[in-house]
C-alpha cells in the first residue's frame, strides 16, 4: 500500500513535458521549477480553499479514537523531545500565501486512508491558528507549529478540549499536554494511524 494524495489534489503535468526525452535534463528541471511547481501549488491552494472540500474540526472526532496508551504517550513524548520529531533532512519552501494554514499547499504529502487526510489536516491547522500557533511544517506522520505572540494562556483549557475532540486524551494526558503547551514554544501533533510506530523503542 502506498500513501496517496487523492483525486482532489491530482495535477496532470504530462502536457508540459511533451517532447522531452530526458526527464533529468536541464530543460526538464527548468520546466519543473518554473512552470509545473507554481501551477501545482496554485492548484493545491484552490483545492484546499474550495468550500466543498472544507472539513469542520468537529467532523474529525472519531477517526483517531482507537489510539491506545502507547499512542497517547507518543503524543506527549513528541512534545517533550522536539528533536525526535525532526527529520535529519529538512526541505525549506517559500511561497506567497494569504494565510499561514495555506502553507500546507506547498507540502500536501501522501496519506493512507486511516490517516487524517490533507483536508482534515487543513482543518486542524486552521483550528490551531485560532490559538496562536503558526503552522511550520509536516513529516511522514507529524504536524508542527510554533507559538506566536497571539497565544493566550487563558485559552489553554479550550485548546486542550479541542485536542480531546480528535485524540482520546484522558485526564492525565490532558494535564501533561497542558503543561507542555504552556512551557514550550512549539506544538507537535500526529496525523497518522499509530504515532507510537514512529518511535524505535518502547515508551
* Domain locations along the chain: 1-203
E strand map for the chain = 133-138, 142-147, 186-190
CB 116 within 8 A of CB 189: no
pLDDT of res. 87: 57
Please tell me the distance from the alpha carbon of residue 61 to that of residue 124, in angstroms, as a whole number: 11
Ordered mean pLDDT values, 10 residues apiece, the chain (203 residues): 59 68 71 75 84 88 93 95 67 69 74 84 94 90 94 97 96 98 96 85 44
- Phi, psi angles (nearest 5°) of residue 185: -105, 20
This prediction's pTM? 0.80
Please tell me the distance from the alpha carbon of residue 156 to that of residue 175, in angstroms, as a whole number: 11
Task: Name the DSSP class of 125.
Answer: H
Please tell me the distance from the alpha carbon of residue 100 to that of residue 7, in angstroms, as a whole number: 24
Please tell me the distance from the alpha carbon of residue 58 to that of residue 75, in angstroms, as a whole number: 20
CA 134 from chain centre, in angstroms, equals 12
Amino acid at each position: 500500500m502506498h500513501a496517496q494524495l487523492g483525486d482532489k489534489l491530482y495535477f496532470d503535468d504530462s502536457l508540459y513535458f511533451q517532447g522531452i526525452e530526458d526527464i533529468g535534463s536541464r530543460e526538464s528541471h527548468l520546466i519543473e521549477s518554473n512552470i509545473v511547481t507554481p501551477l501545482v501549488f496554485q492548484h493545491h491552494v484552490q483545492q484546499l480553499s474550495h468550500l466543498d472540500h472544507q472539513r469542520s474540526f468537529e467532523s474529525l472526532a472519531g477517526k483517531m479514537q482507537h489510539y491506545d496508551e502507547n499512542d497517547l504517550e507518543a503524543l506527549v513524548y513528541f512534545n517533550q523531545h522536539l528533536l525526535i520529531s525532526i527529520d535529519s533532512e529538512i526541505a525549506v519552501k517559500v511561497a506567497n500565501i494569504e494565510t499561514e494554514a495555506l502553507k500546507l499547499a506547498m507540502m500536501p504529502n501522501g496519506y493512507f486512508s486511516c490517516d487524517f487526510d490533507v483536508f482534515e489536516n487543513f482543518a486542524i491547522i486552521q483550528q490551531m491558528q485560532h490559538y496562536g500557533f503558526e503552522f511550520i511544517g509536516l513529516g511522514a506522520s507529524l504536524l508542527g507549529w510554533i507559538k506566536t505572540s497571539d497565544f493566550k494562556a487563558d485559552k489553554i483549557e479550550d485548546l486542550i478540549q479541542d485536542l480531546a475532540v480528535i485524540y482520546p486524551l484522558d485526564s492525565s494526558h490532558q494535564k501533561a499536554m497542558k503543561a507542555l503547551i504552556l512551557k514550550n514554544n512549539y506544538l507537535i501533533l500526529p496525523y497518522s494511524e499509530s504515532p507510537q510506530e514512529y518511535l524505535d523503542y518502547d515508551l
